[in-house]
Each structure stands twice: as structure tokens, then as C-alpha cells.
Structure 1
Amino acid sequence: MGAPRTTAVQRRLEDRKARRLLWCAMKHRSTHLTVQVRNGEQTGQWLFSWIPQASRTSPPSLGGIHPLLNDYIRPDAIESLPAMPPRLSIVIPTHDTRELTLRCLETIARASSPGSVEVIVVDDASGDGTSAAIRELHPGVEVLRNDPAAGFSRSANRGLARASAGVLLLLNSDTEVGPGSPERLLEALEADPGLGIVGAALHYPDGSPQWSGGEAPSHAWFFALASGLPALLARLPLYRRLKPLEPAGPVGVDWVTGAALGLRREVWEAVGPLDEGYRFYAQDLDFCVRARRAGWEVAIDPAFRVLHHHGATIGRKEGAGRRQHPELLWMDLLRWARKHRGERWADRAALLLRTGSALRLAGRLLALPFLPRAERDSWRAESRALGAARQKLAIREDSV
């Protein structure tokens, strides 16, 4: 009784209709399965690539691909093989942000199919039990730990160097990945061979859009940054219609923020690693500028959505404002300016930072009496952060 069964299976696999059936099965990418049909001493073996996810947990559902398969493949003869290499590697540097990191990992798990994504968390000497919590709640995530702390850029480089997929995604630990976003990132890169870096359309927890990328900094940009002028202009009814934070479709830019930065492995190998001389900011700007000089395009894709708790990681550092650390931000930006624009250009940028911040501090002082009492302490704290950054600029000027 056994011999005719094996012969029938072989005939079916040689049949054009069965070959088409296997080809259809291969289009559903998730994992490897090997199917064995036993016949006494003989064993025929075939490899089905990329069978739907359902077949991993319930082998008999192979018949769901086509009823024909159930007639010739015994469910008890199906055994799983190691998964194919992931299509996407996600790297998350973290430092004392356990709860945010766990929430980030939960959203990644919901947004991607099992086995399709490799996740690497680089714990930069956290003291809040981040590594232990990840290993307990997300055993499939690889945890690399720095001890002592190495900083954001070195942590990111360590994780990216470890990653194995053809597409890499650098994520801040205070982000949450939107449904379908990993797949959208892969689709965007597959559709355009010249596109090397894709930034997410970031948004706040309330759904409002967040700045995600744009043109390389100019002198006017430095002044606007320090003066707070864009925030004032954003309150005007027509300003955001003329300069929307979230584009209607994919748009080319000079750089995207590293809060959610996707890139091809080829870009990383040709342009990387991240410049570890930056203390916290501007390594994303630096990397994108270098990638564009190497011939790669950079874009923001609004379908690649990521929630960003802006400032949640840096806000606890001494000298930080509500969402930024002005001193670290301005010093890192001036380092970028010296590296890519030269000393004279950077000196003028520093002057514009001082001028813009002086106007901003004066305006904040005048506005203080009109604020509700509950908001005055945080207002004063942010003003102190701006004042400390401005003083740092003056000290650097005196030392040059």
C-alpha cells in the first residue's frame, strides 16, 4: 500500500499543476518547512520555502494553500527548519528607559510577522533592569550590554554592526512602531533602487505630526532654531498649510531624524559607521549628508509611521529643556558645521545661535508674568537650559 503512495507524490510534484501550486506557496514568505513522505525504507523530501505563518503553528493548515496538498502530505511528517534570514534588522539603543523600551518592543511584535524581523537592543549600562526585563518578556530579542556606558552613537554602531538583514532600522527607545510600518519601509526601498535612507513620519501621542526631516541646516536655520521662531509661526493659521510637517506622499529630503531611520545595508557598509564624536545629536544629519554625497537618495515616507515620545530619553539629563537639551544640541550642530562647512561658516552659525537665543530669552522673560502659575516653574527651567547653552557658546568663543 505504501509504494503507490510515494509514486503518486512524485508524479504530482513533476506535474505542471503541482509545480504551480508550490510556486504559489513560495510567494507567502514566513519560514522554511521540509515535507517528508515516508514509504517503508524510502523517504522523499522536498523543501517548501516561505510557507504562510499559519503552517508554523498548525502544520495541517498546509492544506489551506490548496486541498490537493492534504491528499499527499501527512501532517505528522512535517517538521520545521530554522527560519530564513530576517528581511529587516531593528536596532534600539537604550539607557535607563526600561518601560519605554518594552513598549517599543511590544509595538514591533504587533507590527511585524514572526521570523521576519531581527531585533537587537543595545543596553548602554542601564541601572533600571532593562536587560533583565527584555530577556524575560521578549526572549527572541538579542540584548547587547555596554558596561561602562558608551553613549548613543557607539551603542547604535554596535547594534548595526551586529545586524544581519539587508535592511536596517535604527529606532529610539522612546518610539512605537505603527501597524504595517516595517513592511512599508521594505516596500519603499524595494521600489526605488536609488533610495538609500527612509525616515519615518513621526507623530506625537495625540496624533499630531512631528518634524521628521528636511533640508540641511543653513545659517537662517540656526537662527530660527535658537530664536524659537518656527514655534511662533506655527500658531499662524496658514503657516502649516504652506510648510506642512507631514507630506502627502514620499518626499526627498537632505536628512531625516535618527529617531526612526531605515537604510540599506549597502549604505551602512559604504558610508558607516555613525560618527561617534557627536555627544547626542547630529549623527543622523552627518550620516545622511555623507550618504547623499555618496550618491544615495534620502526620503520621508508618510506611510512609514512611528510614534515618538519626543524628549523622553534626553529630558531627564541635567541642563535639558522640555524636549531638547540645548547645550548638547547646539554643540553637536556646531561640530557638524565645522566638519562639513568649515570654521568660518561654523563661527557665523554660533553667532546666530547667540543672537537668536538672546531674543528668545528676552521674550520669555516678558511673557513669564502672563503665564498661569502652574506653568511658571517649567518655563523658568527651560529658560535656564537656554541660558546655560548660550553661556557655553560664549565660553567656547573666548577659548578660540
Structure 2
Amino acid sequence: MDVSILIVNYNTRELTMNCLDSVYASKTDYTYEVIVVDNASTDGSTAAIEERFPEVKLIPNNDNVGFAKANNQGMDIASGRYTLLLNSDTIVQPDTLQTMVSFMDEHPGVGASGCKVILPDGSLDKACKRGFPTPSASFYYAFGFSKLFPHNPRFNQYQLGYLDPNEAYPVDCLVGAFMLVRQEVIQQVGKLDETFFMYGEDIDWCYRIKQAGWEIHYYPATYIVHYKGASSRRKPYKIIYEFHRAMAVFHRKHYRQQYSWLTNTAVYTGIALKFTLSLLKNKLLPSPRAITRPANSTYNQAKPEVK
């Protein structure tokens, strides 16, 4: 088996079905298996997947165990040379698997790679190529310096906005919506850290992969579409909490020993302040709604020119 594709589903039946449709429409010489881990969905996801995609290896959980643990469950039964983390709210292109696996086969020093990730409006999902969230990178990002000086590497350490999204290069970290990882890497550095519930586990994994001496590459020769939840609408409290908790967990795990108590205090205070402001802002937004791919959209969209 060349690729084990892991998809975590939690009450995203239509999105997951669309994602699976796009995967099985792939044009590739490589063999692949699809493993879906369902985190106790109540929207009929498991029955729909079993009926429409009987070839999928389905792992139903009795509880929502989170993104990291669910993916680890998938890795436990995966048999591919590569493992692909793929979000349920994505659409892959027919050439995506072929392009990315070929890239990895041709570059044995690359431990993990990611393609271009675009949003439905054609803009870049900036999380698909990032630097590590060091205290300085986080400061410049949080206080808007990266937007004020988009072409300055010093102020764009996190989102790497000064780099051309249409060119390939090594990066610090990718996004868990699409991350292709060698089996040898997983054996060496371990699976996802389950301390992270649904945010931060991808950055932590990339950090450990690079610490082990592997390269991580952004390769935009192909792309996927990421149908993220509407950021302009109200989010459940747990999502906001876990997003900010992940920041603190990552800093404590990887950076606390490298910085002074003053810097660490400033980081944790900043996270707490951002969490509070996010809660207040969230209360003013409309209620959430389901995000689905339009029924008449196609998988093989024209490749966008992201600038």
C-alpha cells in the first residue's frame, strides 16, 4: 500500500461525503486506502459512509476523542508507505495524490510535505505554509505587524507572507488539513500528541519531525480546496478554548525552557488576553451554520493564481 488516507469525521456528513467523492475520483498509479475515524457523530455519518463507500475502513468512536487521538487510531491500522492527514472539509484534485507521492518518492530527505491549500474564494489558506510560533513570530502576528509589513521576513516569521505561494520551498510546518508523512518518520518521532485536542497537533508534529532531522516541504504543484467553517460566525466555546489552550501547550512543551520567566509570563498573559477578547468578539457574531460544498461545483476547478 502506498498511501493511507486518514479522515476524521465529526458531524460533517455532507462535507465528508464530498471529500470521499473527490478522493475516489483521483487519477493515480499509486495504491491507497481510506480510513475514516468518526468521533461519535449524531448526523448519520457512519451509516451514510458505510452505505455509499463500503471500501472505507471505518472506525466509530463512542465519544468525541479529538482530532489527534482519532488520527492516531487511524495510524494504528494504516499500512501505507505514507500517511496522509486529510480534513473532512476538503476537496482534493484528481492529480493531488499522484503529484504529492511522486514528489516524496523523488525526495527521500523530505519527511513531510503539503500542497497548496486554497479557500472557496480562491485565496490562499495561509496555514498551509508556516514558520514555528516562536514568541517573536507570535507577537508580530498577533499585533498586526505582518499585515503592515507583508514583505518583511522579520515581521512575517509565522505565515511567511513574503514567500511566493506558487513556488516550492522548505518550511517549518504545514497544516493538518493536508499533510503527507513518511511511515519511517512516524516510527521515529511517534504519532500525534494527544495532549492537543483539535488544534496545534500539526505544528507540534512538524516541530518534532524537524528536530529529528527531516525536511518539511511546501509543494504547490497541485492543490486542494479547504471549506473551512465560516470565521465570521459564532463558534462553540470549546473551539475557542481549545484553540488558545493549544498555544499554551505548545509553548510550554517546546519553548518554556528556552526563554526567561519574563518572556514566558508575557506569552501566557498574551494568550489569556487573546482568549478573553475572542470570547467577547464571538458573542457579537451571528449563530453558526453548516458549511457545505455547492452541489453544482466541480472537483477539478481552474487552478487559482494566488498572490
Identify which range, 248-257 or 113-122, moves more after superposition.
113-122
Quote the Cα distance in structure 1 between the aligned partners of 2:29 and 2:50.
17
- 57, 61, 80: which one pairs with 1:146? 61
Would you say the 8 A contact 2:29–2:98 is kept in 1? no
- 187, 191, 208: which one pairs with 1:273? 191
The amino acid of 2:284's aligned partner reads R
SS across alignment from 1:381? coil
Partner of 2:244: 330
Quote the Cα distance in structure 2 between the aligned partners of 1:312 and 1:161.
32
Equivalent residues in 2 for 1:148-297 (5 A)? 148-211=63-126, 212-227=128-143, 230=146, 243=161, 247-297=165-215
SS across alignment from 1:214? coil
SS across alignment from 2:237? coil
Partner of 1:122: 37
Q: Assess, with a 3 A threshold, how the Cα gap between structure 1 residues 115 and 194 changes in structure 2: closer, same or farther.
A: closer
2:285 is the counterpart of 1:381? yes
Quote the Cα distance in structure 1 between the aligned partners of 2:162 and 2:19.
27
Q: Assess, with a 3 A threshold, how the Cα gap between structure 1 residues 227 and 379 changes in structure 2: closer, same or farther.
A: farther
> C-alpha displacement at 1:249, in angstroms?
2.3
Q: Deviations over 1:189-215 (max 9, x none)?
A: 111111000022110112211111221
Would you say the 8 A contact 2:28–2:98 is kept in 1? no
Would you say the 8 A contact 1:200–1:304 is kept in 2? yes
Would you say the 8 A contact 1:224–1:356 is kept in 2? no
- 107, 115, 118: which one pairs with 2:22? 107
Q: Assess, with a 3 A threshold, how the Cα gap between structure 1 residues 260 and 346 changes in structure 2: closer, same or farther.
A: farther
The count of residues paired between Structure 1 and Structure 2 equals 272
Q: Deviations over 1:158-191 (max 9, x none)?
A: 0122111101100111111122010111111111
Quote the Cα distance in structure 1 between the aligned partners of 2:44 and 2:275.
39
Partner of 1:310: 228
SS across alignment from 1:176? strand
The amino acid of 2:195's aligned partner reads G
The amino acid of 1:192's aligned partner reads H
SS across alignment from 1:304? strand
Equivalent residues in 2 for 1:319-398 (5 A)? 319=237, 325-342=239-256, 344=261, 345-353=263-271, 380-381=284-285
Structure number with higher helix proportion? 1
The amino acid of 1:183's aligned partner reads Q
- State the identity as a percent: 33
Quote the Cα distance in structure 2 between the aligned partners of 1:136 and 1:205.
28
SS across alignment from 1:262? strand
Would you say the 8 A contact 2:3–2:30 is kept in 1? no
Given the two structures, how large is their TM-score scaled by the length of structure 2? 0.79
Partner of 1:52: none
> C-alpha displacement at 1:147, in angstroms?
0.9
Equivalent residues in 2 for 1:57-76 (5 A)? none
The amino acid of 2:241's aligned partner reads E
CA RMSD of aligned residues (A): 3.0
2:203 is the counterpart of 1:299? no
SS across alignment from 2:285? helix
Report the structure number with the largest CA radius of gyration: 1
The amino acid of 1:274's aligned partner reads L
SS across alignment from 1:299? strand
The amino acid of 2:135's aligned partner reads H
The amino acid of 1:89's aligned partner reads S
Would you say the 8 A contact 1:250–1:302 is kept in 2? yes
2:48 is the counterpart of 1:133? yes
Would you say the 8 A contact 1:223–1:355 is kept in 2? no
The amino acid of 2:182's aligned partner reads R
Would you say the 8 A contact 1:120–1:142 is kept in 2? yes
